[in-house]
Structures are given as C-alpha cells and as structure tokens.
Amino acid sequence: MRWVISLAVLGLALLLLLYQLGGGSLHDWDEAIYAQVTREMLQSDLWGTLRWNGSLFFHKPPLYFWLTALTYQLLGVNEFAARLWSALFGFGVIVLTFVLGVRIHSWAVGVGAALLLLGVNHGAYSHDFNFLSQARVGMLDVPLTFWIVGAVVLIWEAEERPWLITVIGLVAGLAFMTKAWPGGLALVLPFVYWLCTRHGRPQHLGYWLMAGGLAGLVALPWHLWEFTVYGNLFLENYFGLNLVGRLFRHIEQDPLPPYFYLDKVRRGFSLWGYLWPFAYLWGVWQACKYSNRPLWLLLIWITLPLVLFSLAQTKQGWYISMVYPGIALLLGLVLVDRLTDQVALAVVAVVMGLCCIRLPVGVDGAPGVKPFAPHVAQYVAPNAPLYVFERSCTPRGLSLPPGTLLQPGENVQPSLRFYLDRPLICLEPRDLAEGAHVPHAYIISQRKWLPHVNALGPIVFAGETYILIQWQ
C-alpha cells in the first residue's frame, strides 16, 4: 500500500507539472528573456557567451540555457520547450523531498511533505509565491532549488558515508552554473550544518576541501573564459550589477520591507502558511532541548536563505523557493509529532484535496503579445528596423555605474522580442522630442501611450493591447 500511495503522489506531481505546460504565453520579464536568450544562442551557434536582443548578456551563467537549447532542438522553439526543464527539476525537488522525509523520520513525513508542495494557484503571476507555479515557468529558481535539496540529502547521508561530502562540491558547482552566487548555498548550508553538529570530527575537513575544489572545477572554467574574453566588462556586469547591485541597491523595483518573504511563504502554503511560523518555533525548541539533528538540518536550511535574501535590497518572491521543501518537511514533522503517522498523512491529504490541489491552467503571461506578433510579420520585413515605444528605456531604479553594458532595447518588453523574433530598438519620449526620425520604419506602442506617438504616422494594425504605426 505504501508503494501504491507513493507512486500515486509522485504521479500526481508529474501530472500537475506537465498538464498544459505549454499553454498561454511566456511571462515578462525573466521567463521571456531566458527563452529568447536560448533562441539567440542557437541562431548564432555561439554557446559560450549569452546574448539578448543581439547584445551581450552577462546576467546569468549558461547551464540552464544549454539544457533549454537541447529541448529547442528536439521540440522546437515554443513555450513547452522553454519550460520543460524547470518542470522536470520541480519533479526532482518533490522526489528528493519525499526521499529526505523518509530518511530523516518516516514514510508519512516524506509523502506529506511532497503533498504540501503540490498546491496550485491560478493567478497570472503566482510564480511569485507558489512552488508549483514556479516550477511551471522557464526560470532558474526551481532548478537551483533542486541542486540545494540534493546537497541537503547528501549531507544527511554523509552521516553514515562521510565521503559523500565530496559529491556536494559537484552539486554546488552545478548550482553556481545555474544561478551564480545563490548556488553557493548548496555548499554553505551543508557546511554550516556540519559545523553545528559534527564537533570533534576534524578528519572530515579533507572531504570539504575536496568538495570546494570540485565546485571550483565545475564553475570556474566558464567564468575564467568570459573574463579572458571580455575582461572588466564581464566583471562589472556579472558581479558588479547582479551580485553587489542586487545586494545593496533596489534594482527594477521600489524598496520592500524586511518581512516581504515571510508573507510570500505564507501565501505559498495556502492554509498551512498560517501554521508554519508555529512549526518553526516548535522546531527551535525541540532542536535546542533534545539536540534533534533532523530539526537542526531543516532550521539551518530555512533560516539562512530567509535572512540573507531579506537583508538584500532587491527582492523577488521566487528567490526564496529554495526553502519551500524544508518548510514542507518541518510541517510534516510537527504533524507527525502531534498526531500519529497515519492521522497526520490523512489530514494533509484531505486538506490539500479540498482546498489546494487542482489542475493548473495555461496562463497568459504577456497579454496581447502572442496574437499581435503574426500581424506585425505581415507588414514588417525580417531585417527592417522595428522600434518599441517605452516610457523609459533604462530599467526603473537602475543607476548604471561607468562601464556597465546597456543593451539596445534593455527595457523593451521581452515577450515582444520572443514572439516577434527580430531585434527591437527602444524609443522613449525624449527621443521623439529631440527629433528622432527613421522614415518608413515601424513603431510598436501600447494603446495607452497612443497620444505620444499618434502624430508619427498612420496606424497599420491595431491589436487588443498593441498598435503598429508606420513612421513617416
């Protein structure tokens, strides 16, 4: 019966992750950017340096883009192929969460934690807080979560087989190649747990040195190559803007409160979101009173990312997806401790079935763009200049240091670039005020900004959200 229930839960997870995965349209901004970066990689056949809208893209390492390029080659360039790897990594997270729950306590904790990750939210931007929604968009956070959960599983198994510490280095290197510096948590979290719980075993320090070396062996070659080719331009954009900048400045957003992520987690777990703070306090009490090693592992896993990302100035809901499996396991442990295994699992299954688990729907992440694109192709030749009117061509809140690479069309809506499949040039009001003019070119504008551009030429096509103007 346990095998049947386990396979049923994992089968349900796979169904929820893949059902209508290619429906709707890509989300602005990150999902559409990553999908287009991968397409340009294939079009240029240059797999070393990433490009967006024809310009260098130093924001992220290439591992996820390489994987997506493979699905593009097999399945074509479409929404399903752009999202598939995120969904598969999401399934891997659920499987590893189940396995870890079984290993640290019991089968009921593993199955219950897996079920707690399967809540579905139909909101257009639910990937800001809901784990299953995060796994159904083609972004980097769920793949990163997979590597972190894998590292946590390895450090737990290293209790009996210490040599597995070395393998954590491989996982950490892949995590770093997925999303740069947050991937370092795949090494930091297990190491902090080892420091807190393995006093008197210095003989294992050699395994950690080998783990660090293996992580560097995986992650350094690409970074050294980019620095060799592009020098300070790479450093200023990859580290200066995306590491230092996001830690100490508000990039592309207004300031957000320190408790921002606590609210995201509460929403992400639906009804259970009101229980998890009490579960956390219970875990702290139990860990300190009884030196409970599983609870120490979960508390370190949850606490360090929450504190780190809460202190950073730039905040996005999906940054914290890596703690969701740990919270699910902590909730499972609390329920099993207060109830029996069977009753706890029954409670989780009933509540999730009644309020949280349902079939996902395809979400239109960029309303109006996908149906607008074929009409643009009827009027604009592939190599003709195509301009996009935006209120600002520099991302909001971004103060660029000297030497930072500002890409053409930096603030152009990424879904336009993906669905139109041609380079776009950004126009803003000051360009028009200074007399910018390209005869016979075409301008795309949102309907709400029509007063700024209606004197430039005739409207050749009007969609629900966008219009196409011939510049005269």
Average pLDDT over residues 52-62: 89
CB neighbour class for 231 (10 Å; exposed up to 12, middle 13-18, buried from 19): exposed
How many degrees, rounded to 5, is the angle at CA 201 between CA 200 and CA 205?
130
Top-confidence residue, 403 or 15: 15
Query: Residue 381's pLDDT is what?
Result: 85
Query: Residue 403's pLDDT is what?
Result: 39
Judge if the upstream peptide bond of residue 194 is cis by omega within 30 degrees of 0. no
Confidence of residue 199 (pLDDT cuts 50, 70, 90): low
Average pLDDT over residues 428-441: 79
Confidence of residue 410 (pLDDT cuts 50, 70, 90): low
Query: Residue 296's pLDDT is what?
Result: 96
**CB under 8 Å to 386, separation ≥6 — which residues?**
376, 380, 420, 422, 423, 424, 425, 441, 442, 444
Query: Residue 407's pLDDT is what?
Result: 44
CA distance 130 to 137: 11
- Write down the pTM of the prediction: 0.93
Q: Indicate if the pLDDT at residue 207 is higher than 50.
A: yes
Residue with token string 């991302």: 395
Query: Residue 397's pLDDT is what?
Result: 36
Query: Residue 339's pLDDT is what?
Result: 93
* Contact between residue 70 and residue 49 where contact means Cβ atoms under 8 Å apart: no
Q: Indicate if the pLDDT at residue 325 is higher than 60.
A: yes
Query: Residue 254's pLDDT is what?
Result: 67
Confidence of residue 111 (pLDDT cuts 50, 70, 90): very high
In the chain, where the domains are located: 2-355, 369-470
Top-confidence residue, 418 or 54: 418
Average pLDDT over residues 277-302: 94
Confidence of residue 66 (pLDDT cuts 50, 70, 90): very high
Strands of 266-357, DSSP E = none
Query: Residue 430's pLDDT is what?
Result: 79
Helix ranges (DSSP H) in 380-448 = 414-420, 429-433
Q: Indicate if the pLDDT at residue 399 is higher than 60.
A: no
- For 340-349, which contacts have Cβ atoms below 8 Å and span 24 or more sequence positions? 341/106, 341/107, 341/108, 341/109, 342/108, 344/108, 344/112, 345/108, 345/111, 345/112, 348/112, 348/115, 348/116, 349/115
Query: DSSP assignment of 315-334, as one string?
Result: --GGGGGGGHHHHHHHHHHH
What average pLDDT does the structure give for the chain?
A: 89
Residue with token string 């499949």: 421
Average pLDDT over residues 407-420: 75
Helix (H) or strand (E) segment spanning residue 461: strand 459-462
Residue with token string 């795949």: 186
Confidence of residue 248 (pLDDT cuts 50, 70, 90): low
Average pLDDT over residues 47-59: 88
Q: Indicate if the pLDDT at residue 236 is higher than 60.
A: yes
* pLDDT above 90 as % of the chain: 65
Tens of pLDDT, residues 249-261: 666 666 788 889 9
Query: Residue 250's pLDDT is what?
Result: 65
